[in-house]
Structure 1
Amino acid sequence: MDWNAITLYLLGLFSLLSLAVTLLTSLVKQVPDLAEAFRAALRSLRDDRDRRAEDDDAEA
């Protein structure tokens, strides 16, 4: 293996590492927004379930 091949492998490796770090950083920055969206979806489902239970009680 010559120095050109080693250099190309190292460039490729560090490029992939840089891409992975960038993607992980952006994901970590989005975690609070994702958590809030998940909580809002659960809250909506819970409210919908409660409304249906109240409607069932009113009908009975």
Structure 2
Amino acid sequence: MDPVWRKSSRSQGSTDNCVEIAPIGDMIGIRDSKDRQGPKLIFTRSEWDAFVQGIKAGEFDYIA
């Protein structure tokens, strides 16, 4: 079965400058919405959860 990819609900409808995520078995896949056939990053559920927690805690705010 093919993964069901989705963009963030905060993504603006007119832009294609986004990433998409999809559950792939017990992993999480990430891809560039402009290059859907291109490479994908694959993370374990615990890696993904740590990343999301880091975002919520502001750990990546210095990047902006």
With normalisation by structure 1, the TM-score equals 0.27
Which is strand-richer, 1 or 2?
A: 2
Which is helix-richer, 1 or 2?
A: 1
With normalisation by structure 2, the TM-score equals 0.25
Which of 1 and 2 has greater Rg?
1
